[in-house]
Amino acid sequence: MKNTFDILVNFKKYAYEFYEWEKDDDIKHVKTIPTFRVSLGCLRDFMNCNLVVEKSFLDVIRGKTEVFCKGIIKVLDYCCILFCGEKVVAVVFDNDGNLIGKSNLLFDEADDVVLSCNDLTETKINYKIISKTSHNYNCTRKESKKINYLLNYVNDIYGNNSDYEIRYVYFECFNKMLENNEEAYLELKKQIENYNFDIIEKLTALIKVLKK
């Protein structure tokens, strides 16, 4: 383990690239944070899964992260940086070891972590995977928000048990009729979840018209 100094982090459910950070995000200026080299498999799990680490690891990192906060230094209980090769991610845990936030770093700060900590040996972190995350890192943060909005929209109109609304939306997106509400709903949901951006853009435009 080594300490990394003077970086910015933006802990979210998914580790967004810094150019997708938004002005309302709780971006933290970290004074110091413990840093560990891990295996590629371990790093991928932390990037792509909901998981919980053992208490022994929490004990190692407890109270070792400090952030600047309105002119004072605030201690964060369970944070650290993990890296493998050129990939770097900051993570934060709750008191039970659940992974509750991830953050990419600025490009130059990530490079500095790799250069300054490249001589570290791998640390084995014991953890249990709870579930895989559904985030598609090929999508931008804006696209992910749009997809979540559209999924909620089709869930709502299907849940309203309307005789025609879900089938009308299906017709406008696919230019063909379906007589079964459930089939229309399931196909719309499938295309959105599979990131079919042709359907996504059609549905987005349709909603704008319907909401007027």
46, 27: one domain? yes
Q: In the listed set 132, 151, 166, which residue is the last one of a domain according to the structure? A: 132
Q: In the listed set 72, 105, 132, which residue is the last one of a domain according to the structure? A: 132
121, 19: one domain? yes
Choose among 144, 143, 142, 170: nearest CA to 157.
170
77, 100: one domain? yes
How many CB atoms sit inside 10 A of residue 125's CB?
A: 19
**149-200 residue pLDDT tens:** 999 999 998 888 666 889 999 999 999 988 889 999 999 999 998 889 899 9
100, 179: one domain? no
126, 151: one domain? no
Return all residues near 152 (Cβ < 8 A) that are at least 6 apart. Answer: none
Q: What integer pLDDT is reported at residue 163 of this predicted model?
A: 67
Q: Would strands 28-37 and 79-84 be described as parallel, antiparallel, or unpaired?
A: parallel
| Alpha carbon 192 to chain centroid, angstroms | 18
73 backbone φψ class: left, alpha, beta (φ>0; ψ -120 to 50) = beta
**9-53 residue pLDDT tens:** 999 998 988 998 998 999 999 999 999 999 999 999 999 999 999
117, 151: one domain? no
Q: State yes or no: pLDDT of 135 exceeds 70.
A: no
108, 24: one domain? yes
The pTM of the whole model exceeds 0.85: no
Is 11 strand, coil or helix? coil
164, 116: one domain? no
Q: What integer pLDDT is reported at residue 134 of this predicted model?
A: 65
Return all residues near 23 (Cβ < 8 A) that are at least 6 apart. Answer: none
123, 161: one domain? no
18, 81: one domain? yes
Domain span at residue 161?
141-210
| Tally of domains within the chain | 2
Local confidence band at 63 (pLDDT 50, 70, 90 cut-offs): very high
